[in-house]
Amino acid sequence: MFDKYRIVKILGSGGSATVYLARHIKLESFRAIKCIRKDNPFYKDALREAYILKNLRHSNIPIIYDIEEDPRCSYIIEEYIEGESLKSFRLNHRFIQESIIINFSMQICELIQYLHKNEKPILYLDLKPENIMVSNHTLKLIDFGTAVYFKEPEKYTHTVGTKGYAAPEQYKKGKIDERCDVYGIGMLLFYLVTGRTFDWKINEFKNIDKVSNCSKKLKGIINKCLKYYPSHRYQSVLHLYNKLSEIRQNSLAANLLKSDKSLTVSLAGSQNRIGTTHTALLITSYTNKYVANSIYMEQNDHRVVKSIIQRYKNVKEKRHIYTLFDCNMTEVQELDKELLKNYQIIVKDFGVLTQENLIDFLDGNIRILILGAKEWELSNSERVLNELIEYKDITYLFNFVDGKVFREAVKSMDGKNCSRIPYVVNPLKITHNESISELIKEILGHSYFNRKKSKIFKFIYQRIRSYTVDQEKGLLGEEKPDINT
């Protein structure tokens, strides 16, 4: 075909196209070729899909390589996705762990947020399991046949979407906006949890509340997504993503502590002198004082720990671990595992993010990247963002920016989890600060602050609950009691 491809087999056939598996003769790699007959009544819609896709670049969207044609047909040559549909995945699993459901739904949220915030915003409008491929636990959205540009009202004059998955207003000529896709994500969540679709005529929302393999918080999210009236749903995919992220962070923190493992927090910066070490020490000091035993581990060659212990006289040292004010720290990059068992939170400072330390950085349970937003910092910020474009679950912190600059920076982050670092003079000596508390909660998840069962969680819960009273009495300067006694 076109002196480039050899057809291997038919992958599928539908109302608008036949899809072939082909091998590129010279590159010896597989391609999916979608053949659309020009006399097909859906020809223009199918071709419009290709032109939408060719301008999109996202890890969850197949790449469009080329468009060919002959007198009878047009051919869209795109990336071949090896895997199974989300529908097949669900049918092959009687039960799916909630962590996998959260992971899948957050991937979809990131993708839909990317479409909504595109230069020409796009509404997908037909989220269903058949349109999603699962390839090594990465989801790929493969059918954009009903996708429309947000500013094309003429596209809304007819019904779009698949019944059982699309929002009710898509069938009643109501207002079509991003809340339709919020409903679609909710429907996917409903399907992944229950294995069936939702039908307004035969089902009620309370059915999801009867499912045993679903947490109360996830049920609440699904119920809110599937509200009949758009104004009652989450008003943006970003809002939904943040709610799912809270569940994931809480679950991660709780599971790690239940298993007596340490939580590793990796930090890196887009450039030197962007505040990576300051932030790492701040997180270590705050969590060590108010949350759980924490230690700072220097994973770069800046020798900050050595400078600190030379400058201060009241540093305590035991087995290469130094304690100053509220912070435990070490310059040993590979500390003895028996020593590390004494710390529930390990904060690793990798300095500037490079190809050499990228893998170690990504190995952390929680990954934090420090960015700059000033004009002379943007090129470095863009560099590291491009390096991390395929990686999920990274928290991005902006340093040395005011509220206005921060809000402008967040607009360009495609819905990524972003926060602003609060100003703290001395990161080694902490006083309780509401903005720091909110930042730590967002980073670690609320599980650290809400559980009561173990001594450490009981202590944390009581400290957070009584912090307002303590603050008024001036008691927050007290040292953290030994929770192991």
C-alpha distance across the termini of the chain, in Å: 75
Distance CA 299, CA 346 (A): 12
Residues 6+ apart with CB under 8 A from 473: none
Q: How many C-beta atoms lie closer than 10 Å to residue 389's C-beta?
A: 11
Q: Which amino acid is at 267?
A: L
Query: What is the pairing mode between strands 366-371 and 263-269?
Result: parallel
Amino acid at residue number 428? L
Task: State how far the alpha carbon of 365 is from the alpha carbons of 208, 243, 245, 338, 445, in Å.
Answer: 31, 19, 14, 20, 12
Distance CA 140, CA 137 (A): 10
d(CA 108, CA 134): 12
Locate 6 and state its tokens: 């050899």
Say which residue the tokens 């650290």 belong to: 448
Task: Give the contacts of 301 (CB within 8 A, at least 6 positions apart).
Answer: 351
Residue 314's contacts (CB-CB under 8 Å, 6 or more residues apart) are 324
Structural tokens at position 137 = 């636990």
What is the DSSP-derived secondary structure letter of residue 452?
-
> At a CB cut-off of 8 Å and minimum separation 6, what does 279 contact?
267, 368, 370, 397, 399, 421, 427
Contact between 399 and 250 under an 8 Å Cβ cutoff? The reply is no
DSSP code per residue over 2-55? TTTEEEEEEEEE-SS-EEEEEEETTT--EEEEEEEETTSTTHHHHHHHHHHHTT
Say how far apart CA 90 and CA 196 lie, in whole Å. 10
Which residues, in sequence order, are CB contacts of 227 under 8 Å at separation 6+? 233
Rg (CA), the chain: 26
DSSP state of 94: S
- Here the tokens at position 7 are 């057809």
Residues 6+ apart with CB under 8 A from 27: none
User: 38 a known binding residue?
Assistant: yes
Say if residues 11 and 142 touch (Cβ distance below 8 Å): no
Q: Which residues are known binding-site members?
A: 38
Binding site residue list for ATP: 38
